[in-house]
Amino acid sequence: MTQSYFHFKFMHISMLFYRRSVYFGLIVTVCILFVVWSSLSMGVRNFGVVDLWNIMNGNGDSTDQFMLVELRVPRIVAGLLAGMAFGISGETFQSLTHNDLASPDMIGLNAGAALGVVAVLLLIENPFIPLAVGAVLGVVVTALVITLVSWRNGINQTRFVLTGIGVGALLFAIVQYVLLSANVMQVAQAYRWLIGSLNATTACNISALTFLVVSISLLAFRTQPVLALMDMGEGVAQNLGVHVSFWRVLVIGIAISATATAVYICGPVAFVAFASGPITRLVIGRGPAVFLSGLMGAFLLISADFVARTLFSPIQLPVGLITVFVGAPFLIFLITFQLKKQIL
In a domain, 190, yes or no: yes
In a domain, 7, yes or no: no
pLDDT tens digits for 310-337?
A: 887 778 888 888 998 888 888 787 777 7
In a domain, 12, yes or no: no
The half-sphere exposure of 258 on its side-chain side, counting CA atoms within 13 A, is 37
In a domain, 171, yes or no: yes
* CA–CA distance, 326 with 322 (Å, rounded to integer): 6
In a domain, 233, yes or no: yes
pLDDT tens digits for 9-53?
A: 666 666 666 678 888 899 999 999 999 999 988 887 888 878 788
**Which positions ≥6 away from 142 have C-beta within 8 Å?**
108, 109, 111, 112, 113, 115, 167, 168, 171
In a domain, 336, yes or no: yes
**Structural domain of residue 63, as residue ranges?**
17-341
pLDDT tens digits for 78-107?
A: 999 999 999 999 999 888 888 888 888 888
In a domain, 5, yes or no: no
Q: What angle do CA 101, 165, 115 make, to 5 degrees?
A: 120
Q: How high is the mean pLDDT of the chain?
A: 82
Instruction: Read off the CATH number of the domain in which 255 is found.
Output: 1.10.3470.10
In a domain, 146, yes or no: yes
Domain tally, the chain:
1
